[in-house]
């Protein structure tokens, strides 16, 4: 297959296995490009991309911008905090005003689940979801799987546990879809209050004992507790959460095998993960960030190829 089955990247649930394979093969090429002395290719000189961030971001925002610049696209950046959204302008009006400046693609992070899908039905540009509320974060899941493939050779057959605040996590849902599409086994582990009631309907295992989960898995993807999405308490204290669901060096060393540790960031050091684990040789956290550029270059390049047709 030489093109994606979709015109937008709204979520992993809209992709198929071949789409992911194509994105990874294209990312392999771009990974080689960004390791050259001249890290730039002229592929998207005729494409203009708007990055619209209605929520905070460090990794995703910088990684998308760098990916676009490495592909020679023209880039404009919009952050809602400094915009006319503060004066009451709607999402559609905001985007249509930006599109009237001849923008071909929109990368958007938004607090509302489904914001990307909504936008794709109302505007002509190609839409990339950079995280929509607690729904999906497709490029994060793609770079996570790409990093597992790089570290362990293959995603198929691997056992991956996603640990922590599953309830409020867009990373968890996108990872579940992406890992299952590629033939991995997925488990979620956390306090019962932070695991959605019907998650087993997605075909994932559920475990509330972290040691058992770590003994089962090849890879542990540690998630942050998303306090900003909580209006009630889901566990008694942070200290208690850390005691039960935090990963530390002593716990890792007591397992009978060496597992790979991931984290999408931002990390709360000392809460879900200790520094000696985050910075250890078992951790591929910074590889994930580095791979994010190549994976996002691949996504943008493949979607732009469809615009040009």
Residues that bind ligand CP (CB under 6 A): 57-61, 131, 137, 140, 264-266
Task: Check the annotation: does 135 bind a ligand.
Answer: no
Nearer to ligand CP, 155 or 262 (CB): 262
Residue 152, sorted as left (phi over 0), alpha (psi -120 to 50) or beta, turns out to be alpha
Query: Distance (Å, rounded) from C-alpha 217 to C-alpha 211?
Result: 10
Task: Check the annotation: does 224 bind a ligand.
Answer: yes
Query: Distance (Å, rounded) from C-alpha 276 to C-alpha 270?
Result: 10
| Shortest distance (Å) from residue 280 CB to ligand CP | 20
Instruction: Name, in order, each residue with C-beta under 8 angstroms of 76's C-beta and a sequence gap of 6 or more.
Output: 48, 49, 50, 51, 98, 101, 103
Task: Check the annotation: does 37 bind a ligand.
Answer: no
| Shortest distance (Å) from residue 88 CB to ligand CP | 26
Do residues 52 and 106 lie in contact, with contact meaning Cβ atoms separated by under 8 Å?
Answer: yes
| Shortest distance (Å) from residue 144 CB to ligand CP | 9
Do residues 105 and 46 lie in contact, with contact meaning Cβ atoms separated by under 8 Å?
Answer: no
- 32 by Cβ neighbours in 10 Å (0-12 / 13-18 / 19+) ranks as exposed
Nearer to ligand CP, 43 or 174 (CB): 174
Task: Check the annotation: does 59 bind a ligand.
Answer: yes
Cβ of 232: how many Cβ atoms within 10 Å?
5
Which residue has the CB atom at the shortest distance from ligand CP? 60
| Shortest distance (Å) from residue 177 CB to ligand CP | 16
Nearest to 181 by CA among 213, 129, 138, 220: 138
The whole-angstrom distance between residue 216's C-alpha and the CA centroid of its chain comes to 24
Nearer to ligand CP, 126 or 129 (CB): 129
| Shortest distance (Å) from residue 16 CB to ligand CP | 24
Task: Check the annotation: does 292 bind a ligand.
Answer: no
Nearer to ligand CP, 43 or 70 (CB): 70
Task: Check the annotation: does 266 bind a ligand.
Answer: yes
Task: Check the annotation: does 296 bind a ligand.
Answer: no
Q: Which residues are annotated as a binding site for carbamoyl phosphate?
A: 59-60, 109, 137, 140, 265-266
Q: Which residues are annotated as a binding site for L-aspartate?
A: 87, 170, 224
Q: Which residues are annotated as a binding site?
A: 59-60, 87, 109, 137, 140, 170, 224, 265-266
């Amino acid at each position: 297959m030489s093109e994606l089955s979709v015109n937008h990247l709204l979520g992993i649930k809209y992709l198929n296995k071949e789409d992911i394979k194509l994105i990874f093969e294209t990312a392999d090429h771009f990974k080689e490009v960004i390791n050259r002395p001249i890290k730039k290719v002229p592929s998207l000189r005729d494409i203009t991309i708007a990055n619209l961030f209605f929520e905070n971001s460090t990794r995703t925002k910088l990684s998308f911008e760098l990916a676009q610049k490495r592909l020679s696209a023209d880039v404009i950046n919009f952050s809602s905090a400094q915009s006319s959204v503060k004066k009451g302008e709607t999402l559609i009006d905001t985007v249509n005003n930006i599109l009237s400046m001849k923008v071909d693609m929109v990368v958007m992070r938004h607090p509302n689940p489904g914001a990307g899908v909504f936008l794709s039905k109302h505007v002509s540009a190609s839409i990339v979801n950079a995280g929509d509320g607690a729904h999906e974060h497709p490029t994060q899941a793609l770079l996570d799987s790409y990093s597992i493939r790089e570290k362990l050779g293959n995603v198929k057959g691997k056992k991956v546990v996603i640990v922590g605040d599953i309830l409020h996590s867009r990373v968890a849902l996108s990872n579940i879809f992406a890992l299952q599409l590629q033939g991995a086994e997925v488990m979620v582990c956390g306090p019962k209050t932070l695991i959605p009631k019907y998650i087993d309907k997605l075909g994932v295992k559920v475990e509330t004992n972290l040691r058992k989960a770590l003994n089962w898995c090849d890879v542990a993807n540690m998630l942050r507790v998303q306090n900003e999405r909580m209006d009630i308490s889901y566990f008694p204290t942070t200290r208690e959460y850390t005691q039960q669901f935090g990963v530390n060096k002593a716990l890792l060393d007591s397992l009978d095998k060496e597992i790979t540790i991931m984290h999408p960031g931002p990390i709360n050091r000392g809460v879900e993960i200790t520094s000696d684990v985050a910075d250890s040789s078992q951790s591929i956290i910074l590889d994930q960030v580095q791979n994010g550029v190549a994976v996002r270059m691949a996504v943008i390049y493949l979607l732009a190829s469809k615009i040009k047709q």
